[in-house]
Amino acid sequence: MISSARLGDKHACPLPGHGTTPIASASGDVNINGMGAARVGDTCGCGAVITTGFPSILVNGRPMAHLGSPTSHGGTIITGSGNVGGGFVMGDAGGATIINFMALGAFRPDGSVDDEKMATLLADPKLTEKALAANALVGPEAAGKKSDAQPEPRAESVVCKHPDRMEELATYIADEMNRNIHHPSVLKMKKLLSYDVAEETRKQMDLPWYAQVGATSPQTIGAANGAAALVIWTERVGQYRDWDHKPKIHKKFGGYYHKQGEYEYFYDIWSNIHYGYVGRAGGLSESVLADGAGLEQIVSDSVGAISDITKPPVREGLK
């Protein structure tokens, strides 16, 4: 039995700077443990698309994704449901067949699922044979197929001696977040952004006409408050500013990647977590924070092209 994947389950991406991101899209009407069931074609926070699932378990016409499902970025789904799974095999049953549908051409060039092609593949009684021929079969059938080729010598397993660091890093950033949500800058942002334009407009409209003449419109005040809040926020989180934790983490913990189990994580994920948590506490919307993060990344990349001060070395992933 292999755990089912759900909205919010974690994806470990090997691409530089991506780290661990959640599954960001899933079924809207089929839930597992109260969360949408993830399917082949659903995307992760870093943009990776889930490519592999159970053809025998369909959710909205797509194969169900699972713990261990590969993605288009070369990553893997690393968490799943603790009590709902698929792929149970009894005797010679084929229920554990797992197929890489990207290898079978079920995806368009833009990464979206070709539903017509997917339906055709799923209706094909020889799907497993075709998947095996296309090297798209992931599961007992592929693992158990005999080969005439001589087996390659098995490399000796290498045990990484670097210590796990995630607990101390998580403790550090949690302390920063819990302290900074009470920072005067955040409290001022919250006050500015709590201005209710609709309510203030109603109040102004209730005034006599002569009292409204010359008064500043609530829309103008609201826009000015929003701009002021963004100025405060940018001053705090901009590159090399007080809440850009990357230089601090590099100085305090060393390195640009930190190990936990079989994975390494790029050091910028902690600033991103702090950015979202404290920004929401200050009253900023998710869309504003996402736009700001994109702009900051563009600026950071531009600065990085000029100066390699914080540019991490090329690393081979842990095996």
- pLDDT recorded at residue 63: 87
Confidence of residue 86 (pLDDT cuts 50, 70, 90): low
Compute CA 78 distance to the chain's CA centroid, rounded to the nearest angstrom.
Answer: 12
Confidence of residue 153 (pLDDT cuts 50, 70, 90): low
Are residue 172 and residue 274 in the same domain, yes or no? Answer: yes
Cα gap 54→86, rounded to integer Å: 8
* Mean local confidence (pLDDT), 114-125: 82
- pLDDT recorded at residue 81: 84
Number of domains in the chain: 2
**Taking 90 as the threshold, does the pLDDT of residue 62 lie above it?**
no
Cα gap 275→177, rounded to integer Å: 9
Establish if 75 belongs to a structural domain.
yes
Are residue 60 and residue 185 in the same domain, yes or no? Answer: no
| pLDDT tens digits along 255-268 | 888 888 878 888 88
| pLDDT tens digits along 21-41 | 899 888 888 888 888 899 998
Are residue 7 and residue 49 in the same domain, yes or no? Answer: yes
240 Cβ neighbours under 8 A, 6+ residues apart: 247
Closest of 162, 167, 61, 45 to residue 113, by C-alpha: 61
| pLDDT tens digits along 128-140 | 788 788 777 765 4
Residue 34, domain extent: 2-139
* Higher local confidence (pLDDT), 277 or 159: 277
Cα gap 74→48, rounded to integer Å: 8
Compute the residue count for the chain.
319
Q: Tokens 């998580």 belong to which residue?
A: 170
| pLDDT tens digits along 164-181 | 888 888 899 999 999 999
- pLDDT recorded at residue 16: 84
**Taking 70 as the threshold, does the pLDDT of residue 296 lie above it?**
no
Are residue 187 and residue 128 in the same domain, yes or no? Answer: no
Residue 90: CATH number of its domain: 2.60.200.60
* Higher local confidence (pLDDT), 193 or 302: 193
